[in-house]
Every structure is written in C-alpha cells, then in structure tokens.
Structure 1
Amino acid sequence: MRSATRVLAALGMTVVALAGATACSSGHSPVPATSSSPGTRVTASPTPSPDATDAPAASPRPLDCETLIPADTVAALHKQGWSAAQRDFAFGPDPVPSGIACLWADPTTASDHGLLYGWAPISGVDAAAREAELVSEGWIREDSDRGVYITADPRTALSKDADGYGMTYLFGRGWVSVSDTKQGLILIDPKG
C-alpha cells in the first residue's frame, strides 16, 4: 500500500499548496458551509463500503472542469479571474481511469491560493482498498447517508473549512470525489 504522502503527491504539490491557501484566503469563497465537525478516528469496516460487487459508475455526461461543479460557481470563479487546470484523478502515481481533478486558481498570479475539485468512477473493491489505505495512514473515516468520508486528520490538515475539515474524499456507490475541504464536496456534481 502507498503512504498518505504518495497519495497526496499524485495530486501534485500544487494541490497541497492550494489546500494550504484555502484557509488563508481573503474575500468570498464560492464554497457553501455545512454544519458538521470532524469526527473521531474510525477503523475501516470489515465489509467493504461501497459493496465490493459495485462496478465503477459512468458519468452521464462528459466531464471537464467547467461541468464538474455548478455553472454559477464556475461563473463566480471566472469573475475572480480564476481558471482551472485539469489533471488526472489519482491515488499515488496511479491515475483512476475516466477521473478528473481540477485545480482552480488565478493563473496570472504566483500564489498558493486556490480550490480543488475532483471526481472518478471506482469499483467497490478498489474503493474499499483506498479507504483502508487512507485510514491506515491516519486519515479519519466517517460514514454518512451520502457515502464514506475520508478526511485528513484536522491536527495535520494544511487548510480547514469552517467546520474544521481539510482535504476530504467522499466514496459513494461506484464513484469517489475529492476536494481541498469537506465543504467543497457539496459542489461536485457529475450529473449536472
């Protein structure tokens, strides 16, 4: 299994820098607030979640950085002068087929201020393995009605949302999404 460092490295040092900048940003962020707080460390369940027989979900439409999040959020980011750099969604050095990761930032300014949104189809077996890998490296698991959240330990998170969550993955049935904060996951909608 790859270490958490390798998991973050695949998203690139840019993601780490962007995640660190999110907490220090000024102005309004287009990310809505939620009303939960980081949970306690929970070990991975013995039964894979989502079900190990799940096949990866197919996006119902072609995805790119302009369609992964709501059009009004894209417009607000463009109004700020930001644009997106699209990359492969990856755990460690291994890209997830048909997945994307979008790094939104101001391309004219050398800055570590930005946002991350990503989505990928993933099988239940691979999801369970990735969840267990992250938890074994100190990430925190929380089960919910939406799926399984795996978030960076708040004591080591580079940036945090208003509820104390840093970089977070959300594993659903046949898919996984990621954002630099848990609040950012609310915006990711591959169905449009």
Structure 2
Amino acid sequence: MTRSRAFPRSRTTLGATALVAALVLTGCASTPDAAPSAPPPSAAPTATPTPTPTAIEPVVRPEDLTCETLIAPDVVAAFVEAGWEAQEEVFRVGSREIPDGLWCIWGAAGAVTASVQIYGWAGMDPADAEEAQAELAEGGWVAEETPDGVYVTENPDTTVATDDDGYGMTFLFGDGWVAVADTKEGLLVIELPT
C-alpha cells in the first residue's frame, strides 16, 4: 500500500515578506535633495502602526468530505476488499465534541472486533485547539511541534496499539483544523480538505 504525505508544509507568505521589506526600506530611505528637518517643538511623537495579526478561522468541513474521501483511495479500496466499512462517529478531542467534524472507524462489516482503524478531521478554532492540547497534556499525552503542526500523541505508557515508531493515537493540530488517526503513521493516509 502506497502512502502519500498530504500535510501542508510551513510557508513564508510572500505578501508579508514584501510588506516587511517595504517598511524597512521606507524607514531607511532618504531623499538626496532634501535636508532632514526637525519636527516643530509642539509636534507630538507619532506612533508607528503595528500590523494586526490575522486571526486563523477554523476550516469548514466540505460537503463532499466523507469517510471514503478523507483517506487515500488505495487505502479505501484495500479496506473494501477486506470486507471493511466505515462507521461515522462524533469527533472528540478530550472533553470537546466537534459536531461538524468527521470521525471514521473502519472495521469488519457486522463484526465486533478490536481490529479497527480510526481517521478523522475537523475544523477547529485556534483558541480551542490550544485548550484541547493543554487538556490532553494534563492527561499524559505528549506534544511535539513540527513544521506540519503540533502532534499530540497518547501516553506511550498506556497506549494499546502503536506504529513502528511507538506512536499510538495521535492528533495533528494545523492552522484552523485538527486531524486524528489511531497511530501517528496513520495520519499519512489522510487527504486534508482544501
């Protein structure tokens, strides 16, 4: 089974870089023909405007996002061939429920078994994401910041199933969204909505 990495990498915004460069150059530039003039004694100092950071809005769940479109087509095909089907549940992060999220449990059709795969995705406000990460950390989950986002993995001392690197259930918090899989490696097959 081929797995493709679908997570966005950190990017430098060219517009922001150009704005910073323009502000720096404007502040350093002088006119060769004009002599610098001192402000009048009664003039009050002016404050330099500070750019306001843009708030990250949670990404809205696309209408066509389903358990079958959330993960790579070859993974879906392998599950179907094995007789598995998806059951959709409410997306949860700690004590938070995200009604508009998608939580998929893939397993054998009509059978009660512990052999399942979990994949999920939800739009999430950054403030809620920080609170969710803090709540998970209080419960013994381990956070790891990377260029992909913040991975938060269940406590390695209490996890039941792990991937080859020892990671159990893992959430990945990105800009306005969160994804989950039953292992960190499982996140690789999620195809993030755009």
TM over 0.5: yes
Structure number with greater Rg is 2
SS of residue matched to 2:152: strand
What is the 5 A alignment of 1:16-165?
32=3, 53-60=55-62, 62-92=64-94, 94-165=96-167
Is the Cα–Cα contact under 8 Å of residues 156 and 168 in structure 2 kept in the other structure?
yes
For residues 51-85 of structure 1, the C-alpha deviation after alignment (integer angstroms, 9 at most, x for no partner) is 99321012455211011001111011100110000
Q: Distance in 1 between matches of 2:135 and 2:2?
A: 28
Deviation at 1:98, TM superposition (A): 1.6
Aligned Cα RMSD in Å? 2.3
Report percent identity of matched pairs. 40
Deviation at 1:182, TM superposition (A): 0.3
For residues 124-180 of structure 1, the C-alpha deviation after alignment (integer angstroms, 9 at most, x for no partner) is 100000001111111000000100000011111111001100010000000001111
For residues 4-47 of structure 1, the C-alpha deviation after alignment (integer angstroms, 9 at most, x for no partner) is xxxxxxxxxxxxxxxxxxxxxxxxxx58599xxxxxxxxxxxxx
Whether 1:189 aligns to 2:180 is no
Deviation at 1:92, TM superposition (A): 4.6
1:171 aligned partner, one-letter code: F
TM-score normalised according to structure 2 size: 0.69
TM-score normalised according to structure 1 size: 0.70
- Alpha-carbon distance change, 159 to 33 in structure 1, aligned in 2, over 3 angstroms: farther
- Alpha-carbon distance change, 101 to 140 in structure 1, aligned in 2, over 3 angstroms: same
Counterpart for residue 169 of structure 1: 171
Is the Cα–Cα contact under 8 Å of residues 52 and 128 in structure 1 kept in the other structure?
no
Structure 1: 5+ residue runs without aligned partners?
Answer: 1-29, 35-50
2:112 aligned partner, one-letter code: A
Q: Distance in 2 between matches of 1:131 and 1:158?
A: 21
Q: Distance in 2 between matches of 1:146 and 1:110?
A: 35
2:73 aligned partner, one-letter code: A
Structure 1 ranges of 4+ moved more than 6 A: none
Is the Cα–Cα contact under 8 Å of residues 54 and 123 in structure 1 kept in the other structure?
yes
SS of residue matched to 2:68: coil
Structure 2: 5+ residue runs without aligned partners?
Answer: 6-52
Q: Distance in 1 between matches of 2:111 and 2:70?
A: 24
Is the Cα–Cα contact under 8 Å of residues 142 and 154 in structure 2 kept in the other structure?
yes
